[in-house]
Structure 1
Amino acid sequence: METFSNIECFVRSAEVGSFAEAARRLSLTPAAVGKNVARLEARMGVRLFLRSTRHLTLTEAGQRFLEEVGASFAMIQNAVANLASAQGQPTGTLRVSMGTVFGRLYVVPLLGEFLRRYPQISPDWHFDNRQVDLIGQGFDAAIGGGFDLPQGVVARKLAPAHRVLVASAGYLAARSPIRVPDDLHAQNGILIRSPQTGRVRSWPLTGRGHAQAELRLPARMTLSDSDAACVAALQDLGVALVSMPFAVPYLEQGRLQRVLPDWYVDDGFIWLYYAEHKLLPGKTRVFIEYLQAQFLAQDLAMRFTA
C-alpha cells in the first residue's frame, strides 16, 4: 500500500508539474508528497524528477516510468472507485469545467436532482470560458465548443453551436428595415471578442439552403460575453451577434427579436468532453448519462438550433 501511495504522488506530481498542486489534489502536504516521491526514487534506485525552486521536470527515467504506469494506475483507481460504487452509489469528487453563463443557465439548475440521485458525489465545478487541459488539470469532464481534442480525450455531441443576430424592438423601430445581409452594414454592431485569442472573428452567415453571405456588421462596441451583449441590445444599442444558448431566454420571453431570422452563424457543436478510459469512473459515467438525458428531456438541441 505504501508503494501504491508513492506511485500516486509521483503520477499526480508529473501531471501537474508541482508537488504543491499534487498535494492540493491529494489532500496532503507538499512535504508529504515530496517524501513519498523520494521514497519511490530510493526504492527504484533512479531519479524521477529534476527539481528546482519553481519547476519539476521529469528525467528520462521518470518519463519512461510515467508512460508505463500512468494508464495502468488510472485503471486501478477507476476499478477501486467503481467497486465502491457497486456496493452503494457512485462516489467521489466530480471536477467539471464549463462556460460561466452557460453553466449557470443550463447545468447548475440540474444539480439538485443529480445530487438527490447520487448523494455521495461531491461537485467541484469550475466556471471558465477558456479551454482547460482536461487530463493535465485533473478534470473529469468539460462542456464547451471548439476544444482541441488531445490524445486520450473523447467527446459526445450535446447540441448545435449556432450564433444569431438579435436586437430590441425599440432599436429596430428606429432604423430602416433589415431585410437582407447587406442591410447590416448600416447598423450598430455589438460584437463578441474571443476570450481565447482576444480577436473578433470574421463570421460567414449561413442561410436557408446553405446559402452563404459575408457578415458586414460595423462594431459599435465589442464585448467578450454573449449574455452581456444581450443586455446591451436590450438598451436599444444595436444588433448583437450572440450564441444561441444565451439568446434563447431573451427570445422566448420576447425581450429581444431575431434579426434576419433566415440567417445564422454555424459554429459547430457544443460538446461534452471526458478522458477516455476502458473503465470509466462511476461518478463520471452517471454524470455523462444524466446530462445527456436532461438535454434530451428539455429539447435543448432543438432550442439551440437557429
Structure 2
Amino acid sequence: MEALNLLESFVQSADSGSFSAAARRLGLTPAAVSKNVARLESHLGLRLFQRSTRRLTLTQGGERFFRQVSDPYATLRDAFAGAAQDAGSPTGVLKVSMGLAFGREYLVPLLDDFLTQYPAIVPDWHFDNRAVDLIRDGFDAAIGGGIELTEGVVARELARTHVVVTASPAYMKDRPLPRHPDDLAEMDGIARRNASTGRVRAWTLRSALGEEAAVVHRTRAIFDDPEAMAHAAMRGLGIALLPMPHAAPWLESGALQRLLPGWCADNGPIALYYPNKTLLPARTRVFIDFVTDAFRTRGIARRFDGR
C-alpha cells in the first residue's frame, strides 16, 4: 500500500501541475505530497520533477514514467473503488460543491436522512457561488445550474427551473397588480448583473399561451446575487425577477408575492455533476441516487417549476 500511496501523490501532482492541487485532491498537505514524491524518486533512483517556486515540470524521465503508470494507476484505483462497493456500507469523505443559499435551503435539510442511511460517510461540502473544476479540484460531485460540461464530467438533471416576477406585499400596497409584462415599466426593479460577464441580465417572459414579452422596469438597484435580490425585494425596494429556487421559500412564507402568475422565463436545469468513471466510489454513487430520488419524491423539483 505504501508504494500505491507514493504513486498516487506522483500521478496527481503530474496531472494537476502542482503539489498544492494534488494535496487538495488527496486530502493531504502539500508538504506530505512533496515528501511522498521525493520518496518515490529515491526508490526509483530517478528525478521525476523539476521544481521551482513558480511551477512544477516533469523531467524527461518523469514524463516517460507518467505515461507508463497512468493507465495501470487508474485501473488499480477503480479496482479499489469496486472492492469498497462490494465490501458493504459506503465509507469515506464525500467532497461536494454547491451554491451557498441553494445548499443551505435544499441540501442541508436532506443530510439527517442521508447520514442515517450511510453513517460511515463524512460530508465535506463546499458552499460557493461559482463553478468548480471537479477533476482538477478533486470533487466527488457538484450541484448547480449552468455548469459547463468539461471532458470526463457528466450531469444528471434534478429539476427544471424558471424565473418569476416577485415583489413584497408592502411594495404592492396601493399599487394595481400588473396584468401584462408591459405594466412593469411603471415599477421600480432590482436588476441582476451576470457575475462572470458583468452584463445586466435582460429577461423575456413567456405566457402559458406562448406569448412573449420583454421585461422593462425603472432600475432601482443592480445586484449580482439572486439571494441578495430576494432580500432587497422583501424590503420593498421594487420588483425582482428571481429563479424559483431562490423565490420559493419567500413565496411560500408570504414575504414575497408573485406577480404575473401566468408568465415566467426558462432558467435551465439544476443538475448534479460528477466524474465519468467506470466505477464510481460507493459514497458518490449512493449520494447521486439519494439526491435524485429526494428531488423527485419530496416535491423539491416541483417547487422550482414556475409554470
Same fold (TM over 0.5): yes
State whether structure 2 residue 124 is matched by structure 1 residue 118.
no
The residue type paired with residue 122 of structure 1 is V
Q: Displacement, 1:225?
A: 2.3
Q: Do the aligned residues in 2 keep the contact of 1:130 with 1:195 (CA within 8 Å)?
A: no
Matches within 5 A, 1:134-145: 134-145=134-145
How far apart, in 2, do the equivalents of 1:291 and 1:272 lie? 9
Q: Displacement, 1:41?
A: 4.6
How far apart, in 2, do the equivalents of 1:301 and 1:188 lie? 30
Q: Do the aligned residues in 2 keep the contact of 1:89 with 1:118 (CA within 8 Å)?
A: yes
Map of 2:197 onto structure 1: 197
How far apart, in 2, do the equivalents of 1:237 and 1:218 lie? 11
TM-score normalised per structure 1: 0.90
Sequence identity, in percent?
53
The residue type paired with residue 216 of structure 1 is V
With over 3 angstroms needed to count, the CA separation of the structure-2 counterparts of 1:142 and 1:217, relative to structure 1, is same
How far apart, in 1, do the equivalents of 2:64 and 2:164 lie? 49
Map of 1:163 onto structure 2: 163
Q: Displacement, 1:63?
A: 5.6
Q: Do the aligned residues in 2 keep the contact of 1:156 with 1:271 (CA within 8 Å)?
A: yes
SS of 2:137's partner is coil
Matches within 5 A, 1:256-267: 256-267=256-267
Q: Do the aligned residues in 1 keep the contact of 2:84 with 2:282 (CA within 8 Å)?
A: no
Q: Displacement, 1:87?
A: 2.4
SS of 1:151's partner is coil
SS of 1:50's partner is strand
The residue type paired with residue 215 of structure 1 is V
Q: Deviations over 1:117-146 (max 9, x none)?
A: 111111100001100001100000000111
With over 3 angstroms needed to count, the CA separation of the structure-2 counterparts of 1:193 and 1:75, relative to structure 1, is farther
Q: Deviations over 1:14-69 (max 9, x none)?
A: 34432244345545554442243245456667654332103223456656655664
How far apart, in 1, do the equivalents of 2:212 and 2:66 lie? 49
SS of 1:265's partner is strand
Q: Displacement, 1:88?
A: 2.8
Q: Do the aligned residues in 1 keep the contact of 2:165 with 2:264 (CA within 8 Å)?
A: yes
Q: Do the aligned residues in 2 keep the contact of 1:162 with 1:265 (CA within 8 Å)?
A: yes
**More off after superposition, 164-173 vs 191-200:** 191-200
Map of 2:107 onto structure 1: 107
The residue type paired with residue 149 of structure 1 is L
Q: Structure 2 unaligned runs (5+)?
A: none
How far apart, in 2, do the equivalents of 1:216 and 1:71 lie? 56
Q: Displacement, 1:174?
A: 2.9
How far apart, in 2, do the equivalents of 1:230 and 1:209 lie? 28
Q: Displacement, 1:298?
A: 1.3
SS of 1:135's partner is helix
Q: Deviations over 1:195-253 (max 9, x none)?
A: 33333222222222333221213321122322222222122221011110111111122
Q: Displacement, 1:275?
A: 0.1
With over 3 angstroms needed to count, the CA separation of the structure-2 counterparts of 1:60 and 1:125, relative to structure 1, is farther
Q: Do the aligned residues in 1 keep the contact of 2:78 with 2:278 (CA within 8 Å)?
A: no
Q: Structure 1 unaligned runs (5+)?
A: none
Map of 1:280 onto structure 2: 280
**More off after superposition, 183-192 vs 19-28:** 19-28
The residue type paired with residue 135 of structure 2 is I
How far apart, in 1, do the equivalents of 2:156 and 2:295 lie? 12
The residue type paired with residue 180 of structure 2 is V
Q: Do the aligned residues in 1 keep the contact of 2:220 with 2:238 (CA within 8 Å)?
A: yes
Map of 2:268 onto structure 1: 268
The residue type paired with residue 235 of structure 1 is R
**More off after superposition, 171-180 vs 157-166:** 171-180
Map of 1:186 onto structure 2: 186
Q: Displacement, 1:288?
A: 0.2
Q: Do the aligned residues in 2 keep the contact of 1:145 with 1:161 (CA within 8 Å)?
A: no
SS of 1:191's partner is strand
With over 3 angstroms needed to count, the CA separation of the structure-2 counterparts of 1:161 and 1:85, relative to structure 1, is same
With over 3 angstroms needed to count, the CA separation of the structure-2 counterparts of 1:171 and 1:75, relative to structure 1, is farther
How far apart, in 2, do the equivalents of 1:70 and 1:189 lie? 54
What is the aligned length? 306
Map of 2:251 onto structure 1: 251
How far apart, in 2, do the equivalents of 1:205 and 1:64 lie? 56
**More off after superposition, 265-274 vs 166-175:** 166-175
Map of 2:34 onto structure 1: 34
The residue type paired with residue 260 of structure 1 is L
SS of 1:247's partner is helix
How far apart, in 2, do the equivalents of 1:66 and 1:125 lie? 31
How far apart, in 1, do the equivalents of 2:70 and 2:262 lie? 50
